[in-house]
Amino acid sequence: MIPEIGHFALVLALFVAIVQGVMPIAGATLLKPIWIGLAIPAARLQFVLVALSMICLAYTFAVKDYSVLYVASNSNSQLPLHYRVAALWGGHEGSLLLWAFILNVWTLAVTFFSKGLPALTRARIIGVMGLISIGFLLFLLTVSNPFERLIPAALDGRDLNPLLQDPGMVFHPPMLYMGYVGFSVAFAFAIAALLSGELDATWARWSRPWTILAWLFLTIGIMAGSNWAYYELGWGGWWFWDAVENASFMPWLVGTALLHSLAVTEKRGTFKAWTVLLAITAFSLSLLGTFLVRSGVLTSVHAFATDPERGLFILAFLVIVIGGSLALFAWRASSIVRGGGFSALSRESFLLSNNVLLVVAAASVMLGTLYPLVLDTLNLGKISVGPPYFDAVFAPLMAPAVFLMGIGPLARWKKAELPELVVRLRWAFVVSLLVAGLLPLLLGRWTPMIGLGIFLAFWVFASSLQSLWLRLRLAGVPLIERFKRLTFAWWGMWLAHVGIGVFILGVTIVKGFETETAVRMHPGDVAHLSGYDFVFDGVTKVQGPNYTATQGNFRVNKNERELATIHPQKRLYTVQNMPMTEAGISAGIWSDQYASLGEPLGDGSWSVRIYYKPMVNWIWGGCLLMAIGGGLALSDKRYRIKRKGHQVDGVAA
Amino acid sequence: MKLRYKRLGLILGAVALVAVAIGLVLNAFQSNIVFFYTPTQIVNGEVPKETSFRIGGMVLEGSLKRQDDGLTVQFAVTDTVNVVPVTYTGILPDLFKEGKGVVAQGALDSQGRFVASNVLAKHDENYMPPEAAEALKRAKVTQSPAVQPDGSNS
């Protein structure tokens, strides 16, 4: 009965979404107040219905109702409760329901935190989000219904893929989707502005916090996914340029460009057309990501289903959304009033260059991701484009972007002076050049790539310190006062940029100085790697809730001193009889020591992979700083004042 | 007039950047695309020498042998028609099994043996890597004498 209620709630939600998508937009054009007034109640009602549907599905998972096909294929009676609930988004149907639900969460948030917007604009925004929702609900109800019954019911479920049975599964997909779907708000703002023809700076001011929030979630989502892959896949990699990773990274790149472009549009009133285009692109790439991951066109660990009907549906949806919004853009572009001019050397021009670099980088990632698919579809052969391609293209595009990132915040709006910039940044430049020359030598290895990486990281740090210094140097004002003058938005930007530096430093050190070895180890054997001794004390058997494991016991020593014990496991998930490797990691600020078990080789010895990963945690630490920067920018006074004026709490909480 | 020049400059700058990016992409494509060949294509000598490529197929039953160091393994990959011997040093993925699909990346040595630098198997019992499936499909189309039980091909 419960699954039917969930299904019925989805059907009702579709009707409500149609009302929400059609009436307010039509009403805003024909100026019918009653139609416009439908927007908010419809959006809230739809939220309640989709939430009810989610609860029904979660309940079905929790009570182990294997008469529902989706539940039977994605969980099992032995699965612990938290994974049973997370299994809700472990497969195709459920993750689309999660998509629709999160879209409704964002829409609900818009209904609450948009009281300052003109009624017409607000109606259009909610309408556009309703239209997107129609697409997803139709998709769920026609070709991927999670509530489909299985008759006769299965005795037990087929289990959640053991690879997904990890705490990462509980957080990573919802975070990532919050980011993906969050760009729908910026998209809806852009479409609403195009529909009304009023593309001014207020549009940018309104959509900026929403974009920052979505970007923040996406950053955390990607970070969590990367960290999860690092400890779960057992070969110590943190980014594989896998098509599914690229699918989340492309919207991030364009979303980052959008953030900066919005800042220019808000502050200076220029870049309007470009910003609109970026908002459309960021959301389109989110949809493309969904298409890539969920249609089964890619076969990787993340692809769950192969079903051409679904692929066609998403493709058609994609064409309608992207084609429709671009057509609207083309039609309205002429009405966009040009903003103020700026000199070839100005903060605008730096931001524009960075924007272009980010977009070109996203395009090159897209090319590498889609090219093999296109060739395969056209029967021109099977190829694969691996990490070397992405490294070779991505690094040369991002290096100038990071260099410009150091200059941009110090340049004046409208017109900057080259001599002034040179004076302001010469020390930062010299210091980072020196560090780039010397630090790798101290660490024992200098290559051009390591030198470049260290240079860029320290360039970011030094120029950030310089810009902080310039802000604090105001004469005649006490230091406390000077600190107070710095806005949260500025600190947010500053911290996010420092985060990029931390990230680059981590990547450079890991790539340049990591070591690994695969060895045969008998109990009592010691493996040496980069100054660490890994002592193998044999294996013990461990019993998990739904798996049995052989656990390796290692001591990590350095200079005869025991630093840590690590316990990599070889698990056998009993339901599907599927082996899984669980890495053992001793994590630290300066390095991780990482071991994973290979195979038993008889006589009690095992093949073992051992890694030394210097400063690998800086990679995720950098991402975290970026996210915190986003949070700081969101808590800036101008957003708070606005909210207080309307007696609502912060979205950023 | 000045504005027009400035715009022209911007456009030229953007075009130059895109041109550089295209250059990078083409260059990277040239050296980093990995082609895929089936065992039959390899046996027929269709693979250029000294290039890295991917091979796909099934791990032949009974072909897995491990050397004394415990890390070097030999096995054979088949598309049911032809067989290519593979050698790999390292730790095999969890789901590597005889009779299951496999994809390996590497190059041929002078004796026609495939030296793998990387062996991929995916995390699903019933999952067949697309390359492996393709190899079997192509072999079926040009069905010819099947593999002898001992793994040699006529």
Give the pLDDT score at A385.
Answer: 84
Inter-chain residue contact A397 with B123, CB threshold 8 Å: no
Nearest to A233 by CA among A250, A246, A245, A221: A245
CATH number among 3.30.70, 3.40.50, 1.10.3470, 1.20.120, domain A1-165? 1.20.120
**Whole-angstrom distance, CA of residue A384 vs CA of residue B53:** 9
- The complex scores an ipTM of 0.78
Give the pLDDT score at B154.
Answer: 33
Interchain CB contacts (distance < 8 Å): A and B: 102
pTM of the model: 0.91
Query: For residue A149, what is the DSSP state?
Result: B
Q: CB of A297 within 8 A of CB of A311?
A: yes
- Across residues B30-43, what is the average pLDDT? 84
Chain A contacts of B29, Cβ < 8 Å? 371, 385, 389
**Whole-angstrom distance, CA of residue B15 vs CA of residue B9:** 10
Angle at the Cα of A407 (from A406 to A413), degrees rounded to 5? 135
Nearest to A36 by CA among A130, A137, A135: A130
A169's tokens: 């599964």
Q: CB of A518 within 8 A of CB of B71?
A: yes
* B138 near A CB under 8 A: no
Chain A contacts of B89, Cβ < 8 Å? 518
Q: How many CB atoms lie within 10 A of CB A63?
A: 11
Give the pLDDT score at A500.
Answer: 97
Nearest to A189 by CA among A165, A214, A164: A214
Q: Which of B34, B71, B123 sits opposite A384 (nearest CB)?
A: B34
Nearest-CA residue of chain A relative to B65?
A601
Return the exposure string of A543-581: e unless at least 16 CB atoms fall within 10 Å of the residue's CB, then b: ebebbebbbbbbbbbeeeeeebebbbbbbbbebbebbbb
Inter-chain residue contact B3 with A161, CB threshold 8 Å: no
Chain B contacts of A363, Cβ < 8 Å? 21
For chain B, the structural domain boundaries read 1-33, 35-141
Tell me which residues of chain A, numbers 517 to 556, contact chain B at a CB-CB cutoff of 8 Å: 518-520
Give the pLDDT score at A653.
Answer: 33
Give the pLDDT score at A632.
Answer: 94
DSSP-derived secondary structure for B89-125: ESPPPTT--TTSEEEEEEEE-TTS-EEEEEEE--S-T
Residues of chain A with pLDDT under 70: 295-308, 474-476, 640-653
Inter-chain residue contact A397 with B9, CB threshold 8 Å: no
**pLDDT greater at residue A191 or residue B48:** A191
**Whole-angstrom distance, CA of residue A477 vs CA of residue A481:** 6
Q: Which of A363, A383, A519 sits opposite B34 (nearest CB)?
A: A383
Q: Work out the mean pLDDT of chain A and round it to a whole number.
A: 89
User: Would you place residue B117 in the very low, low, confident or very high pLDDT band (cuts 50, 70, 90)?
Assistant: confident
Pairing of strands B33-37, B53-59: parallel
Per-residue pLDDT tens digits for A518-551? 888 999 999 999 999 999 999 999 998 889 999 9
Quick one: three-class SS letters along A376-404? HHCCCCCEEECHHHHHHHHHHHHHHHHHH
Q: What is the CATH number of domain B35-141?
A: 2.40.50.140
Distance from CA of A33 to the nearest CA of B (A): 44
Distance from CA of B25 to the nearest CA of A (A): 6
Per-residue pLDDT tens digits for A422-471? 888 999 999 999 999 999 999 988 999 999 999 999 999 999 999 998 88
Per-residue pLDDT tens digits for B49-84? 778 888 888 888 888 888 877 788 899 998 888 899
For chain A, the structural domain boundaries read 1-165, 197-412, 413-507, 515-615
Nearest-CA residue of chain B relative to A387?
B32
Distance from CA of A354 to the nearest CA of B (A): 11
Q: Which of B29, B70, B125 sits opposite A520 (nearest CB)?
A: B70
Give the pLDDT score at A295.
Answer: 65
Give the pLDDT score at A40.
Answer: 95
Tell me which residues of chain A, numbers 392 to 421, contact chain B at a CB-CB cutoff of 8 Å: 392-393, 396-397
Per-residue pLDDT tens digits for A256-274? 999 999 999 988 888 888 9
What crossing angle do the helices spanning A308-332 and A272-294 adopt, rounded to 10°? 180
Nearest-CA residue of chain A relative to B56?
A382
Return the exposure string of B80-92: e unless at least 16 CB atoms fall within 10 Å of the residue's CB, then b: bbbbbbbbbebbb
Nearest-CA residue of chain B relative to A375?
B35
Inter-chain residue contact A392 with B31, CB threshold 8 Å: yes
Q: Which of B21, B29, B36 sits opposite A397 (nearest CB)?
A: B21
A111's tokens: 């209904």
Inter-chain residue contact B35 with A383, CB threshold 8 Å: yes
Give the pLDDT score at A388.
Answer: 86
Per-residue pLDDT tens digits for B118-150? 887 654 545 566 677 777 777 776 654 444 334
Give the pLDDT score at A306.
Answer: 52
Inter-chain residue contact A353 with B13, CB threshold 8 Å: yes
